[in-house]
Chain A
């Protein structure tokens, strides 16, 4: 079973700061997802990665398959970025369900 670890567990930063959230996993994967969950509870898929790097607006996600590690970066952070960010992996071998990290609680203060 894949073990997914995220760090930090909690992060408070000032508006405008550059944010990095890390995710590591134990077993080879076919895809890694970054999800965002707002206080209202809904979950939104931000990125799905199997290699390299993806960018969407102020969000950047990278993955290093050899190191079994991924990072989510937020540039020019804003209070509306405050949410829980969850890393999830789909293990190699055909199983389609996701295994999740515990999430990173991010608070951006104005």
Chain B
């Protein structure tokens, strides 16, 4: 079975450029999460969607960050304009939201470097 697929795996770009990270969740999963991992702060939730609807975006650092989920099989996280402090590993995870707790399945992450 295909897991959560993220692209690109690595991205290096200059500050001020627009960055778009992509995620394809596991088929049948209806919850999708975007996390960011840095050395200083560890893993943090940025935003999550249930049934393609953003539920909690309180972790999105500022207006430069935006996320969309146009359908059940695709989500994007966009940073515009990018800054060096956005350098981090960005993980996407998906799960099935039912009546009980379900494990989250993580993608391999996108390692983002802003110069």
Contacts and interface: CB of A to CB of B under 8 A. Distances in A.
B30 to A, nearest CB: 11
Interface string A11-32: 0000000000000000000110
Interface string B103-115: 1111011010000
Nearest to B109: A41
A45 to B, nearest CB: 4
A59 interface: no
Interface in B36-88: 42-45, 48, 50, 55-56, 59
Interface string A67-110: 00000000000000000001010100001111111110000000
A100 B103 contact: no
A86 B42 CA distance: 10
Interface of A, helix, strand, loop or mixed by DSSP: strand
Nearest to A42: B108
A45 B42 contact: no
Contacts of A30: 101
A96 B55 contact: yes
A48 B101 contact: yes
Interface in A44-62: 44-45, 48, 50
Interface of B: 31, 33, 35, 42-45, 48, 50, 55-56, 59, 89, 91, 93, 95, 97, 101-106, 108-109, 111
Interface of A: 30-31, 33, 35, 41-45, 48, 50, 86, 88, 90, 95-103
